[in-house]
Amino acid sequence: MRGNRILWGIVGTVTFAFWCAEMAEGTKYAGEYLTLGVGGRALGLGGAYVSMADDVTASYWNPAGLALLDRREMSFMHAENFAGIVQYDFLAYGQAWGDSTRPSGVGIGLVRLGVDEIPVTSTLELLDYGLDGEPNTGDEGEGNGRLDVNERIVYDEDKISWTSDNEIAVYLSYGRGMSSSLYLGGSVKILGKFLYENSAVGIGADVGALYRPRSWLTVGAVLQDMTTSPLVWNTGTRETITPTLRAGLSSRHLVERFEGDLTLAAGTDVRFEEQSLGSTLSSGGVSLDLHVGAEYRYRDMVGVRLGADRGRLTAGAGFSVRMFLADYAFLAHEDLGNSHRVSLGVQF
């Protein structure tokens, strides 16, 4: 009976995700900065972490995993994405909450993506002379305030100012064990974007679940931005982030001969923004991104990882010494340059 209830719960979650997507009129790529992933361990595994999230990064990957915390934990990640052009940071705190009979956990996380030293050229002089490039002829385009063919901008370094783009999200998360094998959780997200003189704020919500039908097998699912997440700009423009359904499974196997364990994981992101370019699979308005990863951990102290994030190679390694953890992840990208992610953590 329990298995049937869980099965119907999964079916209901998938149906609800598609219903939300049909009802929503989302803004394409409005929430793209929320899709990059966090944590050196998870990213080294190609992002196949929805079913493995049992640490403080669960506030991002799957809030249900916070119920598996058995102590307080902090984590910080810094990433140099795309040859160092994009700075990406994650900071989180989580702790166990409740007793062992009905374990639960709480967490708070901060995601920040930034691009610095963006030139502002709106103060430069536009020679708005029209298509013939000559002043006071009254031809097409003259005086329209736009840069047309044969028009040019007078470069003056003294008139150029510099700004940055910052996009942030704050996660307030809670996870709870419903039984010895089922865990549920949710997050409320406070969203913000800041570019030059413009800013936007919004709010969103995620719900997640972890299910362990066997001691070695875990299934996970998260519905992000479940009812669409609005972003309202100070200019009056409104954007919305459509729901994304993330699902995955992982299996962990002891390797007694080498005193370690091997974990294999796979996951998929189902999006509803017609992201045909760059997606693993797409049909109509639905796109599918695939993630796979493998990790070998020796005595729960040293780990090596290999994976694929939407077809791009990932790799990583990590170690833990007493209460301290460190993880590194590498992402290969032919067009935008390679990315390096380092995360540090402490458990106490």
User: What residues does each domain of the chain span?
Assistant: 2-120+160-347, 124-159
**Residue 224: both structure tokens together:** 């992000």
Domain 2-120+160-347: what homologous superfamily?
Outer membrane protein transport protein (OMPP1/FadL/TodX) (2.40.160.60)
Residues 138-191 pLDDT 10s: 788 888 878 888 778 877 777 777 778 899 999 999 999 999 999 999 999 999
* Confidence grade of residue 15 (pLDDT, cut at 50, 70, 90): very low
pLDDT score of 275: 65
Q: How many whole angstroms separate alpha carbon 193 and alpha carbon 247?
A: 28
Contacts of 201 (CB under 8 A, 6+ apart): 190, 191, 192, 231, 232
* Confidence grade of residue 336 (pLDDT, cut at 50, 70, 90): low
* Confidence grade of residue 343 (pLDDT, cut at 50, 70, 90): very high
CB 42 within 8 Å of CB 79: no
* Confidence grade of residue 304 (pLDDT, cut at 50, 70, 90): very high
pLDDT score of 1: 46
pLDDT score of 261: 96
pLDDT score of 200: 96
CB 230 within 8 Å of CB 237: no
Residues belonging to the chain: 348
pLDDT score of 88: 92
- The pTM assigned to this predicted structure is 0.82
pLDDT score of 276: 62
Q: How many whole angstroms separate alpha carbon 228 and alpha carbon 290?
A: 22
Which residues on neighbouring strands pair with residue 106, listed in sequence order?
95, 174
**E strands of 36-156, at which residues?**
73-81, 86-97, 104-120, 125-127, 152-154
Going by C-alpha positions, the residue among 48, 3, 19 that lies closest to residue 269 is 48
Going by C-alpha positions, the residue among 254, 243, 227, 295 that lies closest to residue 43 is 295
Residues 18-50 pLDDT 10s: 444 444 455 767 788 899 999 999 999 999 999
Residues 187-242 pLDDT 10s: 999 999 998 889 999 999 999 999 999 999 999 999 999 989 999 999 999 999 99
Residues 293-302 pLDDT 10s: 999 999 989 9
